[in-house]
Each structure stands twice: as structure tokens, then as C-alpha cells.
Amino acid sequence: MTDDTPTFLPPAIVLVRPQMGENIGAAARGMLNFGLDHLRLVAPRDGWPNPAAGAMASGAGRVLDRAGVFEDTAGALADCTRVYATTARARGLTKRVVTPEQAMREAHAAALKGERAAILFGPERTGLENDDIARAEAIVSIPVNPDFASLNLSQAVNLLAYEWRRAADAPVAERLELAGAEPASGIELEKLADHWEERLETANFFFPPDKAAGMKLVLRNFLSRAGMTRSDVQMLHGVMRAMVRWKERG
């Protein structure tokens, strides 16, 4: 008799272009305090490994030792089925905005089903850019004092990690019935967006040229927030292929 219980996959904490090793180390320490140990780094400014991170981790060195390092955000999200962007601004993108508590409840529900969620944090000085946020299905908004909204990177990570710990002890209030389907992964969504961009570029959809970059960003943002399954992605690939074939026949 086989055990069909999915592997429990806690979320990945993804630090995008972090600048200070001390903040990486403090983030790792906070993660382990609340039961998280899956850290991913996207293009850390001072390279990796970073001695300053190890000094600040204070006993959480194992989190740093196992940290994954990626060249870009897309690579760091390739196996993730739910992505949340921690940012104070939507920057003109249409997104669902959730509290840290809600985000980690959803991440915990995903973990129970064997899915990996990712929580994105931007660099200390500038925060996440639109290209990063567009790959998320939702924005996490931390309710801070509007008169002093500046939050240190490691503090933000600690807040989300704390909510993860709370969510792990709470019942799941809502679930999505997928009817046997599996959620689309980051790499599947990335390839779908690339396919649509390529075909729409050929069809001169992105016009005028000075608006093309913004239109592509809106397209990618739409695809990432739709909450698609693998079968949804396959269908949309098929839709585009069918339209191309129909145009060629004409």
C-alpha cells in the first residue's frame, strides 16, 4: 500500500538583488526562528557566499548554506505555483492585495498540497521592480505607520515568517478544488508568456513601439495573477497555435 500524502513544501523566501550581507543573515535568522529554511537569492550585489551574512545569521548558518542563488527572478520562481510580492506600491499593475496573514495562510494551504509558494522581497534601496511584481499573483501589503513606512528587509522577512508560524497552527479556512488538475508552475507560466509575446510580436500587436514594453508587462502580469492550472496553460498554448494556423490558411 502506497502513501499518497503530498510532500509538505514550506514557501521559499526570495530576496531579489539584496544589497547587504548583514540583512541576508538577519533574514535567515528570522526565518529559522519561525520554522522556515528555504532561502533563494537573486543576483546578490556583493556575490555569494558573503561573510557578513554568516556573521549576522547567529546560528542559522544552515539556512545560508542551503540557499539557492539565481541570475534572475524568473529562474528563482521556476518551480513555484504561487508567488507573492512584498511591496508598498502596486506601481500601476492590477493585482490582488493581501495582508501578510492571508498570504501565509494561502502559502500554508499550498504547502499541504505539495506545492511551493514564493514570497518576493526587493532590494533595500528601491524595492521590487515591475518586472518582478508582474510575476506574482498577489501583492503583500504590510500595515505600517503611513508617516514612517520604511521597513528594513530583514524585518519584513521576520513579519512574514511570523505569520507563517501562525498559519501552521491554524485551520485552513478556504481551499480551491482543482478537479484533479495541478497548478501551473513558474516555468510553465514563463514559457506561456514567451510564446504569446513571440506570436503577438509577429502579428504587430505591440504597437506603437514606444508602448510595447508596457503592453508586454501587462500581458505577463495578467497571466501570472490568473491562478492557472497546467491544463489552462496547455489550452492557451493551443489557442495561440490554432490562431496562427488559421491565419496561415487564410
pLDDT at 1 over 50: no
Radius of gyration for the chain, computed over Cα atoms and rounded to the nearest angstrom: 19
Euclidean distance between CA atoms 117 and 108, whole angstroms: 8
C-alpha cell at 125: 534601496
Exposure letters 70-96 (e unless 16+ CB within 10 A, then b):
beebbbbbeebbbbbbbbbeebebebe
Q: How many other C-beta atoms can be found within 10 angstroms of the C-beta atom of residue 246?
A: 9
Average pLDDT of the chain?
90
pLDDT of residue 106: 95
Please determine, for residue 151, whether its predicted confidence score (pLDDT) is greater than 70: yes
Confidence band (pLDDT; 50, 70, 90) for 149?
A: confident
Confidence class of residue 178 from pLDDT cuts 50, 70 and 90?
low
Higher pLDDT, 4 or 94: 94
For residue 45, what pLDDT is reported? Answer: 96
pLDDT at 144 over 50: yes
Residue 83 has pLDDT above 80, yes or no: yes
Q: Could you give the CA distance from residue 170 to residue 90 in angstroms, rounded to a whole number?
A: 29
d(CA 24, CA 28): 6
Instruction: Spell out the alpha helix ranges (H) of 152-207.
Output: 153-168, 186-202
Structure confidence at residue 173 (pLDDT): 58
pLDDT of amino acid 172: 57
Q: Does residue 5 have a pLDDT over 90?
A: no
Asked if omega into 208 is within 30° of 0 (cis), the reply is: yes
Closest CA to 91 of 119, 120, 128: 128
Grid cell in block for residue 117: 509558494
Q: Confidence band (pLDDT; 50, 70, 90) for 176?
A: low
Q: What are phi and psi of 86, to 5 degrees?
A: -85, 110
How much is the average pLDDT of 110-122?
A: 95
pLDDT at position 244 is: 81
